[in-house]
Amino acid sequence: MASETPHQHSVPQPYGDSREPRLHHDAMAMRTVFIAPKRADRPCDVGSQSSDLSPASLGDSNRPIAGCPFCAGNESLAPPDVLRLPDSLALPWNVRIIPNRFPVVEDCRPPGAISDAISGQMNARGFRAAHGVHDVLIESPLHDRTILSIQAQQWRDAWELCRRRIEAFAERGDLAWATVFKNSGPRAGASLEHLHSQLVALDFVPPTMAEELAAARRTADPFGEMLRQAETDGRIVTQSGDLVAIVPVAPRQPFETWIVPRTPEPYFHSTSPSRLDALADLTQRLIGALDRLVPGADYNWWLHQAPFAAACHAGKIPSNWHWHLEILPRLASLAGFELGTGCHITTFSAEDSARRLREASSAVETGLGVHKKFRQPLPALQTGGRNGHSLP
């Protein structure tokens, strides 16, 4: 349902005796790679000639599209849902979760076996089966392409469905960690334009999360310090309830933002209804602000929460951990320097990004009509940018 790069080239079919996903680990390069041959079979309508992705077209479908596997009425084109809202099958669905037909991981090992490390169960050739769950969250029954088209309650329901699904993952004994992520637009890796996110649960804690947890253990109050410093530096964009949106001190792209609770909470799936309301509010407001600054900007986001209790040994989860959502606009390409060094280059300071986002977000309201109301960019933001975007 999504890929890391736009579908611009024809990719040869993978060779090998199995099309089941595998996990490879290169100890020398400290690199983990999922080999998922079925992903090559994904349909793609993003960037096709039949797909109008101009800013004026986004979000105004107001109807299902024939042949789209995510639109209402085309349910036979997709696997049966595992969760939906409303729950009743007698009512039309607003949001639903289905298994991903082209998964990066598959449920292939009996419950109860969690990998202590990525390389813990590798065979002599350095790989093992990629065990886990890969789902798709369909966020609208209509052929909507932006979250700014979704009414506030329906958007809140999408986050509630994520929470329920991750809660179910946590109750299993064979999964260590889970995330929800969104690829919005071709530069962010989307292959289908119909509004959706993805959920992936793994049987190990991925390297990025392990590094974040290790860093958090070295400080008494890492997230509290991060929020206090953001306030001192002028990097707070906005807030809703006790969730705060900040620009991180070292943003990878212009207008990168993190949504962070003010008080510790390791698990998103244990969060309160009021925090779900705030998260739904902030995500629409921040994407509305980004869209006002850079119309049609592609972006990714992903959830970082603590590993599940079953995967934790000797209290490895810091009591001061905060789940958080990272939102990364895709305004500039990753080039040789970034890929070769692991360092990023951006043309905007964190403080400047936060200031411009504050100005834009103050005008944005959540709910139906946001997209049309705030589609026009601010007058001052008309200079050229990379990848065809108009950047400040």
In the chain, the domains with their CATH numbers are: 74-391 (3.30.428.10)
Q: Please, which pLDDT band fits residue 8 given cuts at 50, 70 and 90?
A: very low
Please tell me the distance from the alpha carbon of residue 189 to that of residue 171, in angstroms, as a whole number.
30
Average pLDDT over residues 316-341: 90
Q: Is the confidence at residue 311, as pLDDT, over 80?
A: no
Tokens coding 345: 């280059």
Which residue's entry shows tokens 């504050």? 358
Residue 376 is predicted with a pLDDT of: 41
Average pLDDT of the chain is 82
pTM, to two decimals: 0.84
Q: CA angle at residue 386 from 370 to 325, to 5 degrees?
A: 50
Is residue 280 within 8 Å of 370, Cβ to Cβ?
no
pLDDT in tens, 33-92: 877 777 666 666 655 444 444 433 444 456 788 889 999 999 999 999 999 999 999 999
Q: Is the confidence at residue 295, as pLDDT, over 90?
A: yes
Q: Please, which pLDDT band fits residue 367 given cuts at 50, 70 and 90?
A: very low
CB 132: neighbour CB atoms within 10 A? 26
